[in-house]
Amino acid sequence: MRNALIVLIALLLCPASAWTQVKLSVHWEELTADDFRHAIQQSQGTCLLPFGILEKHGPHLPLGTDLLNVRYAALHAAEQEFAVVFPEYYFGQIFEAQHEPGTIAYSTHLQLEMLQETTDEMARNGCKKVIIVNGHGGNENLLPFFAQTQLEKPRDYVVYVLGLVESPPGGPPKKSTVINWHAGEAETAKMMISRPDLVHLDRAASESGADQARLKLPDALYTAIWWYARFPNHYSGEGGLATRELGEYEMKSWQDAIVKAIQAVKADQEGLKLQNEYFEKIKHPLDTRP
């Protein structure tokens, strides 16, 4: 009540600058329409789209692990370097886990159309710089492809993709000596920070997360069933070895990487200019000279 009164007095005394004194939420869905206008201004049109998925995460983590973790990192980063954060988004690529309960695998065309319409709508509302923050390994091919298709036709905004981030060396040593890609030590540790109440560490060893290496092919040869061939339980690693200490380090590294990305994108004055120059040129390729 007292805070509301102070804000009201500030508004009455100094209407022009009063808005800068009101702390705006970084959550898109928590802003009023009028506050949204100010938030877009404050973020310099920079918005985050944290991208998760719904899929099994070993025997011990929730289906929304990637969504919960990426949103925790993105929201904390946006608090540090202001940006508007889009609501829950999990319409990604996960065809390799359809045999497990709780996986939601949308069709390919819908994934691309949904993402395009989402970034188009974000941009129409002033997000001229959209940073897609990926939180799911299965999106690592989808997202650069999507970003590349932004050159298909003219747009008045730029899409940037921040792929999965490797923590720099220097954190607490990892105890596991095997591959820990999915629901393993590091990912479990991050969940111990974002939603510790959803981590069932005692169940982590009830299934095997070992690499079963059932496909004998050279590394350079890609085929879709590779993941299932190696990790049929949709579990890769030893989640039971996770610690809060590792989680703090991993989550902090991720947040730092997102903060850096927001700062770099805000500073980027060339991306849209070059994109516009390019779109102008593609109308008359015969006039393009070396």
Q: Which is nearer to Zn ion, 45 or 137 (CB)?
A: 137
Q: How far apart are CA 145 and CA 212, in angstroms?
A: 29
Q: What is the dihedral of CA 129, 134, 139, 141, to 10 degrees?
A: 60
Binding-site string for Zn ion from residue 203 to residue 232, where x marks contact by CB under 5 A and - marks none: ------------------------------
Minimum distance from residue 53 beta carbon to Zn ion (Å)? 7
Residues that bind Zn ion (rule: CB under 5 A) add up to a total of 2
Least Cβ distance, residue 242 to Zn ion (angstroms): 13
Question: What are 237's two structure tokens?
Answer: 């690693």
Please say which residue, 66 or 81, places its beta carbon nearer to Zn ion.
Answer: 66
Q: How far is the CB of 89 from Zn ion (least distance, A)?
A: 15
**What single string gives the DSSP state of each residue in 199-223?**
--GGGTTSS-----------TT---
SS3 for 22-64, per residue? CCCCCEHHHCCHHHHHHHHHHCCCEEEEEECCCCCECECECCC
198: tokens are 């959803």
Residue 194's nearest CA partner among 90, 26, 21, 75 is: 75
We find the least distance from the C-beta atom of residue 9 to Zn ion, in angstroms, to be 48
- For Zn ion, the binding residues in 44-83 under the rule CB under 5 A are 65-66
Q: Which is nearer to Zn ion, 65 or 167 (CB)?
A: 65
Which residue's CB comes closest to Zn ion?
A: 66
With respect to Zn ion, which residue has the nearer C-beta, 65 or 134? Answer: 65
The residue type of 212 is: Q
**How many Cβ atoms sit within 10 Å of the Cβ of residue 174?**
19
Integer Cα distance of 24 and 170 in angstroms: 35
Residue the block writes with tokens 């690592």: 140
| Total residues belonging to the chain | 290
The CB-of-86 to Zn ion minimum distance in angstroms stands at 19
Which of 81/187 has CB closer to Zn ion?
187
Query: How far apart, in whole angstroms, are the C-alpha atoms of residue 290 and residue 287?
Result: 10
Residues 266, 42: Cα–Cα separation, whole Å: 11
- Look up residue 105 and give its amino acid: A
Task: Compute the least distance from the CB of residue 187 to Zn ion, in Å.
Answer: 5
Pick between residue 66 and residue 96 the one whose CB is nearest to Zn ion.
66
By C-beta, is 66 or 238 nearer to Zn ion?
66
Nearer to Zn ion, 43 or 180 (CB): 180
Question: Mask: binding to Zn ion, 158-197, rule CB under 5 A, as x and -?
Answer: ----------------------------------------
Token couple for 68: 């919960």
Compute the least distance from the CB of residue 83 to Zn ion, in Å. Answer: 23
The tokens 């970003």 sit on which residue?
147
Closest contact distance (angstroms) between CB of 99 and Zn ion is 17
Residues near Zn ion (CB under 5 A) are 65-66
